[in-house]
Amino acid sequence: MSIQLKNLTHVYSGGTAFESVALHDISFEIRDGDFLALVGHTGCGKSTLVQHLNGLLKPTSGQVLVDGEDLNGEHVDRRKLRMRIGLVFQYPEYQLFEETVAKDIAFGPKNLGLSAAEIEERVRTAMAQVHLNYDKYARRSPFELSGGQMRRVAIAGVLAMQPKTLILDEPTAGLDPHGRDRILGIVRELHQSGTTVVMVSHSMDDVARLATRVVVLAHGSLLADGTPREIFRQREMMEEAGLGVPEASRLVQALRARGLDLPDDLYTQDELYDHLLRLWKEANPC
Amino acid sequence: MLKNITLGQYYPVDSWVHRLDPRVKILLTIALIVAVFLVRSMVGYAILLTFIFLASCLANVPFRLMIKGLKPLRFILILTFLLNLFFQSGGGEQEILVHWWIITITRAGLRQAVFFSARLALLVICTSLMTLTTSPIQLSDGIELLLSPLKIIHFPAHELAMMMSIALRFIPTLLEEADKIMKAQMARGADFESGNLIKRAKAMVPLLVPLFVSAFRRAGDLAMAMEARCYHGGEGRTRLRVLKLTRHDLFAVIAVALLIGVIILERAAMPDGWPL
Ligand SMILES: Nc1ncnc2c1ncn2[C@@H]1O[C@H](COP(=O)(O)OP(=O)(O)OP(=O)(O)O)[C@@H](O)[C@H]1O
Ligand SMILES: [Mg+2]
């Protein structure tokens, strides 16, 4: 399933004193199997953009095409579509409402109209995906859990619909490093098992570790779109967009400035490590 | 989705009307409401509407916005119109315009229907002028000061104003929150729009539970923050913005007084018992 944005523009509160252009003429395509990282400074329109991808917001002008068909066309069942394109909001733990964790996760599958047995099965699978023990947590109230656990329940609630494409809006915001790694691990597993992933993130290191593609927004416009390697070598552009580059890239720049023979497009720690090891071996042939 | 509610929605621009003392604005709005009830003919309404239109120009507020404030009331307006149209009884001219089956529309009925819907619409437009040009904080300041003479009989003017400003402060926040939760549930396939009444009421549960949870959390946080800053009620509390009457307030009072004078003349010019 491909999602294509065509000249997407979104204006909030058009025609009033509060009018603000949140997105301006954005075009790009999300292809099957992508792990697309959406990055940009605070308020650049990332959350606005992801809400267009499953039809929760209507573009002021421009189109969102899903498999070539206009998402906001007349005969499109957007409710059905939303279940194929799962969206996890920023701070999704605030959407929990049921008495028990299992019931809350079952909300999506129930809306799909599945049978009780199937729903049960999906809840179990989704809880396993987010590493929550079914026997321990299924009967607990979601309001008694810790913030990180609530976040995982909320993500499971979207995964239980088994979407082909998963969109996550800053899934790690406000979590401790341990909770963050946990969520990112879950997202990585999902991508490896074939889900197309779109993730909004403020951490360039996370993007460097996970993404296969990076889209950079600045002030509501598309600034750059490419592989992490292409994006992170443009250090000045990334600084100007208020983002910076991964730690490894920064280190590479500093080392190159001191005359070390390193390629300028390294961006992961592993790569840098390999190159440094090579240099060290060349310098100390034993 | 839930954003298009104008009544009680401040329009933040700077203007002569915005800078008027909120106490004066509240009293003048009450005067305008009285004027609406004094009017006896469509001419009077035309005069009032012209006045409000000029005021909205002075206030830099698009007149369109005030008209938009009528939208949530459209059913009440239509109902008022229809009830008056069909159930006008006795008095006035009984000239029949339409007679079909059990439906009879008289000229007097039509006139009455137009008259009362216009009255309702003007009431809303008058108050919109105030709420669009006065920030909620100013509004509750004004109300507190206007009610403070009642403190002598132990009327909780300060507490009332504080509750009101907190409530007003949180309306947009809660609306935004509701919008967000609604979207999050829609992303999980929730359906808020179709089905019968019971199904729709049930569909609200996934929206209302998180909304209440977050409202209580916010209320708790706010109480804690106020206490941490030594809030202990109205006694001995001084104000950051001290309200002062100026020359401009006097002008506004004179303008409204003139308007009411004109309306009273209009009322006197109309024959007794009109329009009923
Ligand atoms: N409901 C709304 N009404 C009006 N303006 C809005 C609304 N939501 C967002 N905006 C404005 O649109 C712009 C983009 O907001 P958005 O939430 O998409 O930013 P973001 O990139 O997700 O930021 P963050 O990184 O802080 O989450 C901001 O300037 C914001 O003020
Ligand atoms: Mg955001």
The residues placing their C-beta within 5 Å of ligand 2, an ion, are A 47
Ligand 1, CB within 6 Å, residue ranges: A 12-13, 20, 22, 40, 42-48, 90
Query: What's the rounded Cα separation, in Å, for the pair A174 and A131?
Result: 19
* H-only helix segments in chain B: 22-38, 42-58, 63-68, 74-86, 107-133, 136-147, 157-187, 197-203, 205-228, 247-269
Residue-wise pLDDT tens digits, B117-146: 999 999 999 988 888 888 877 888 888 889
> For chain A, which residues lie within 8 Å of any Cβ of chain B, measuring from their own Cβ?
13, 16-17, 51, 54, 56, 79, 82-83, 86-89, 92, 94-98, 107-108, 111-112, 143, 157-158, 161
Residue-wise pLDDT tens digits, A122-172: 999 999 999 999 999 999 999 999 988 999 999 999 999 999 999 999 999
Identify the domain containing residue B237 by its residue range: 138-242
Question: Which residues in chain B touch residue A158, judged by CB atoms under 8 angstroms apart?
Answer: 187-188
**Are B271 and B209 found together in one domain?**
no
Query: With bands split at pLDDT 50, 70 and 90, how would you rate the model's confidence at A212?
Result: very high
Query: With bands split at pLDDT 50, 70 and 90, how would you rate the model's confidence at A77?
Result: confident
Structure-block tokens of residue B12: 């933040």
Query: What's the rounded Cα separation, in Å, for the pair B47 and B44?
Result: 5
The residue whose CB lies within 8 Å of the most ligand 1 atoms, and thus the one to mutate among A20, A89, A169, is A20
Q: How much is the pTM?
A: 0.74
Q: ∠B29-B35-B37 over CA atoms, to 5°?
A: 115
Which ligand is nearest the CA of A48, by number?
1
Are the beta carbons of A25 and A220 closer than 8 angstroms?
no
**Are B109 and B199 found together in one domain?**
no
Residue B28's contacts (CB-CB under 8 Å, 6 or more residues apart) are: B252, B253, B256
**Are B225 and B253 found together in one domain?**
no
**Are B3 and B94 found together in one domain?**
yes
**Are B13 and B116 found together in one domain?**
yes
**Are B142 and B177 found together in one domain?**
yes
Three-state DSSP string of B165-195: HHHHHHHHHHHHHHHHHHHHHHHCCCCCCCC
**Are B12 and B115 found together in one domain?**
yes
Query: What's the rounded Cα separation, in Å, for the pair B64 and B62?
Result: 5
Among protein residues, the one with the nearest Cα to ligand 1's atom 24 is: A42
List, in order of start, the domains of chain A with CATH numbers. Answer: 1-84+164-244 (3.40.50.300), 91-162 (no CATH), 246-286 (no CATH)
Query: Between A94, A107, A143, which is nearest B188 by CB?
Result: A107
**Are B52 and B183 found together in one domain?**
no
Task: Give the HSE-up count for residue A218: Cα atoms under 13 Å, Cβ half-sphere.
Answer: 12
Decide if A161 and B190 are in contact by the 8 Å CB cutoff: no
Decide if B188 and A92 are in contact by the 8 Å CB cutoff: no
**Are B210 and B256 found together in one domain?**
no
- Give the number of domains in chain B: 2
Decide if A89 and B213 are in contact by the 8 Å CB cutoff: no
**Are B221 and B87 found together in one domain?**
no
Query: With bands split at pLDDT 50, 70 and 90, how would you rate the model's confidence at B150?
Result: confident
**Are B123 and B249 found together in one domain?**
yes
Query: What's the rounded Cα separation, in Å, for the pair B165 and A76?
Result: 44
**Are B125 and B197 found together in one domain?**
no
Residue-wise pLDDT tens digits, B212-252: 999 999 999 999 999 999 888 777 778 777 778 888 899 99
Query: What's the rounded Cα separation, in Å, for the pair B143 and A237?
Result: 53
